[in-house]
Amino acid sequence: MKSKKKIKKIVNNFLLYTFLIIGFIMMVFPFYWMVISSIKPREELLTYPPVLYTLKPTIEYYKQLFSLIPMQRYLFNSIFVALTVTITNLFLSSLAGYAFAKHKFYGRNFLFTLILGSMMVPWQVNIIPSFIIVKKLGWLNSFYGLIIPAMVNAFGIFFMRQMISTIPNELIDAARIDGCSEPYIFWRIILPLSKPGLATLAIFTFMSQWNNFVWPLIIIHKSDMRTVPLSLAVLNSQFGNNFGLLMAGASISILPMIIVFVFLQKYIVKGIVFTGLKE
């Protein structure tokens, strides 16, 4: 009987790890192929059947990338927009989340329901009204049009409200009894205890803004204001037959996201778990 259970456990573990390994390969291989293709010489790129490695790595395509288009400018634009939106979104979402989680005021539940309801509206519905507002304000082809409409969103408020709700009320009440002001409580108690949620929201926001394509495509028409996704689209239209060049551009585009994820990954699980807890 014990031997049957042992065999069953071994078989289950084998199937589980086989499934995980296959899933890992399916997820990682496209990124590996992208990077390895960006450093292959042209003759190896055209080899059939394709090889999974290169014996003559080269950075020629990366040199071409920065010489054919102002890639450094596009990288600056994307980094500036993504970082600015991320920082402002964290601050404003935390403020709103703290208010909804720990303060009682008239219409709180109604306002929070409206915010949740706005999450049900497809983002495509807001494009035309947002474009009209941005155009009337004169924010086309500017950082204002890229940053200000994205400075806060319903998901960020909901996420931080759920996170801050897990902080004990007794801790905040004790700080108030000691004479702490609301700004002090927010900066010294709420934010430090909300680090997992802040880090998780930072990753979501940064990735969303870094990969944002449709909104910049609508409001940006000047070449020097393009972001990285727009530059890759232009690169594909002008040099679509240069496979190595496209892979070099794609490899550079994912580098900042990998860096951000590596530094903040330990907070992701904590943040997601805490936001699912009730007070």
Q: What are the pLDDT digits (tens) for 25-74?
A: 998 888 888 888 888 887 777 777 777 777 788 888 888 888 888 889 99
Q: Across residues 85-98, what is the average pLDDT?
A: 94
Specify if 63 maps to a domain.
no
DSSP string, 224-239: GG--HHHHHHHHHHHS
Look up the domain containing 223 and give its range. Answer: 69-275
Q: Do residues 114 and 252 share a domain? A: yes
CA–CA distance, 230 with 224 (Å, rounded to integer)? 11
Query: What is the structure's pLDDT at 271?
Result: 56
Indicate which CATH number applies to the domain containing 162. Answer: 1.10.3720.10
Give start and end residues of each alpha helix (H) in the chain: 2-38, 42-45, 60-68, 71-102, 108-118, 127-136, 143-147, 154-165, 169-177, 182-185, 191-193, 195-210, 214-219, 228-238, 243-275
Instruction: Calculate the dihedral angle through the C-alpha atoms of 89, 142, 213, 88, rounding to the nearest 10 degrees.
Output: -10
CB 39 within 8 A of CB 187: no
Q: Tokens 């706005």 — which residue?
A: 118
Torsion sign over Cα 210, 211, 216, 221: positive
Q: pLDDT tens digits, residue range 238-262?
A: 776 778 888 888 888 888 888 887 7
* Judgement on whether residues 150 and 27 belong to the same structural domain of the protein: no
60: in domain = no
CB 127 within 8 A of CB 218: yes
Residue 10 lies in a domain: yes
Task: Identify whether 21 is part of a domain.
Answer: yes
**Same-domain pairing of 41 and 77:** no
Number of domains in the chain: 2
Residue 278: per-residue pLDDT: 46
Residues 20 and 88 in one domain: no
